Amino acid sequence: MNDGEIERILTEILALDPASTPLDDDTALNGALPEFDSMAVVSILTAVEDHYGIVIDDDEVDAEIFETVGTLKRFVDGKVAG
Amino acid sequence: MSACEPAFVDIEGRSLFVVRHAPRGEPRCRVLVLPPFAEEANRCRRLTALSARALAAAGCETLVFDLTGTGDSGGDFAAADWQTWRDDVRGIAARFDWPRAPGRRAVLAVRSGLLLAPALDLAGAALVAWQPVLNGDRYLQQFLRTRVMAAKFAGRSESVKELLERFRGGEALEVAGYTLSPALALALAAARVDESDFADLSATTLLECKPQAGGQPSAPVAALAEALRAHGHSAVAEVLAAEAFWSTQEISAPDVVVTRTVAALTGGEVAP
Residue B26 C-alpha from the chain's centroid: 26
- Contact: B147, A38; criterion CB under 8 Å: yes
Candidate from A38, A46, A59 with C-beta closest to B153: A38
CATH assignment, A5-81? 1.10.1200.10
Per-residue pLDDT band for B171 (boundaries 50, 70, 90) equals very high
The domains of chain B, with CATH numbers, are 3-133+193-266 (3.40.50.1820), 136-191 (no CATH)
State which residue of chain B sits closest to A34, comparing Cα positions.
B249
Percent of the residues in chain A that have a pLDDT greater than 70, as a whole number: 98
Residues B123-169 pLDDT 10s: 999 999 999 999 999 889 889 998 998 888 888 889 999 999 999 99
The full DSSP string for A6-72 is HHHHHHHHTT--TTTS---TT-B-TTT-TT--HHHHHHHHHHHHHHHT----GGG--GGGGSBHHHH
Q: Which long-range contacts (CB under 8 A, 24 or more apart) does B187-191 make?
A: B187/B81, B187/B82, B187/B83, B187/B136, B188/B37, B188/B82, B188/B112, B188/B115, B188/B136, B188/B139, B188/B140, B189/B136, B189/B137, B189/B140, B189/B164, B190/B136, B190/B137, B191/B82, B191/B112, B191/B115, B191/B136
In this prediction, residue A53 carries a pLDDT of 77
Percent of the residues in chain B that have a pLDDT greater than 90, as a whole number: 78
- Is A12's Cβ below 8 Å from some Cβ in B? yes
Q: Which of B140, B145, B149 to mutate to test the interface with A (most CBs of A within 10 A)?
A: B149
Helix (H) or strand (E) holding B107: strand B104-110
Candidate from B142, B150, B250 with C-beta closest to A38: B150
- Report the distance separating Cα B42 and Cα B61, nearest Å: 22
Minimal C-alpha gap between A67 and chain B (Å): 11
Q: Cβ contacts (< 8 Å) between A42 and chain B: which residues? A: 142, 145-146, 149
ipTM of the complex: 0.72
* Mean pLDDT (whole number) for B4-13: 96
- Is B222's Cβ below 8 Å from some Cβ in A? no
